[in-house]
Copies of this chain bind each other. A is one copy, B any other.
Amino acid sequence: MRVAILAHEKFPDRAKTALGVLRYGDYDVVGVLDRESAGKRVNDFVSDVQDAPIYEGMADLETNDVDALLIGIAPIGGGFDESWRDDVRTALEDGCDVISGLHYFLAEDEEFARLAAENDCELWDVRKPPADLTVGDGVADEVDAEVILTVGTDCSVGKMTVSMELARDAREAGYDAAVIPTGQTGIMIEGWGNPIDRVVSDFTAGAVEEMILEKGDEHDYLFVEGQGSIVHPAYSAVTCGILHGSMADKLVLCHDAGREAIHGYESFSLPDLPTYVDLYENLAAPVGGSEVVAGALNTSDLEDDAAAREAIDEYASALDVPATDVVRFDSETVLDELL
């Protein structure tokens, strides 16, 4: 599938979804839209992802070459920025589908709905949960696959990235591994999935279980993308539902080096690392049982590799399990624990 990615004024540093899709998605990216960087290329900014030209807007692309426009950024609050309307309109008029992870559902926008109908295009709001979700049955552990869940000390510590990297490395090592996507970027990358943070709270575990039952007999390993943190004042419910709904066999604890308080909730200090291990394992014990068998540390804020290695060693020793930074270094020691 050939996609253009909208990332106006935010590429690459504040375009997490765009970067995730460029790095892990199975899409042929024919262009990125960023009116501030038009004329440059993706690889001028980021070297380790597929390259593509950057355009001013959708009108500058040869839309015959584009199957879908993918919204690769989100303003705070998840609204639709009206400065993007021309691009979405052009895409639909030229027969392209539009994929969006915004809270604002494009399918409920009168103009977009009409244009999509007229031009036989699909509007895929990935954050809109399917209507047929329901409560869990507590049976995710019945699948053949080994289920591995990334859990975190906080939001935005790299759980999605760790899931994607580990699944990719496992596949490259010859294992049959798939990702169970639970958030908007993961869903866009994989092309399917339930947006767990948007489902009815009673269905949180059930919506994860449903995905595991769907894929669990097709693969040997499932890497479930975790969300939030079990100590997050706002999002712990989602974390708890994913832990119990997935009935994961193994957990990978993800952390951002140097993070000391909950991001955006700075009055809440992070507990120490062994406390996290105990919390996740003790909470999982009555519902299938899970063990933290590896750690993933995000060291992107540390400039030199030696400091990063040292931080990882300290992290591994605090958790008493092998650890790595899956982006900066290889994942071999961690995969050895998982596969």
Q: Is B196 a contact partner of A201 (Cβ separation < 8 A)? A: yes
Bound-complex Cα distance A136 to B267 (A): 14
Closest chain-B Cβ to A1's Cβ sits at a distance in Å of 29
Instruction: Mark out the residues of chain A between 269 and 290 whose CB falls within 8 Å of any chain B CB in the assembled complex.
Output: 269-271, 275, 278-279, 282-283, 285-287
Contact A201 B241 (CB under 8 A): yes
A121 at the interface (CB under 8 A from B): no
Q: Is the CB of B205 within 8 A of A197?
A: no
- With A233-B244, A241-B237 given, is the CB distance from A138 to B201 under 8 Å? no
B271 engages A285 (CB within 8 Å): yes
Provide the bound-state CA to CA distance between A297 and B271, in Å. 33
Cβ-based interface call for A234 (8 A): yes
Q: Which residues of B contact A196 (CB under 8 A)?
A: 201
- Size of the A side of the interface (Cβ < 8 Å), in residues, is 45
Query: Could you say which residues of chain B place their CB within 8 Å of the CB of A233?
Result: 136-138, 205, 244-245, 247, 287
Q: A138-B267, A138-B268 are contacts. A231–B201 as well, Cβ < 8 Å?
A: no
Digitize A222-247: 1 where CB-to-B-CB distance is under 8 Å, 0 elsewhere. 00000000111111111111001101
Chain B residues lying within 8 Å of A262, measured Cβ to Cβ, are 138
Query: In this assembly, does A257 line the interface, its C-beta being within 8 Å of a C-beta of chain B?
Result: no
Q: Which residues of A contact B (CB under 8 A)?
A: 135-138, 196-206, 230-241, 244-245, 247, 262, 265, 267-271, 275, 278-279, 282-283, 285-287
Starting from the known contacts A200-B201, A270-B286, A283-B283, 11 additional A-B residue pairs (CB-CB under 8 Å) come to A138-B262, A138-B265, A198-B201, A199-B201, A204-B237, A230-B240, A232-B287, A233-B245, A237-B244, A268-B287, A278-B282
Q: Which 9 A-B pairs have the closest CB atoms?
A: A138-B233, A237-B241, A204-B237, A240-B240, A231-B286, A136-B234, A197-B202, A237-B237, A135-B234
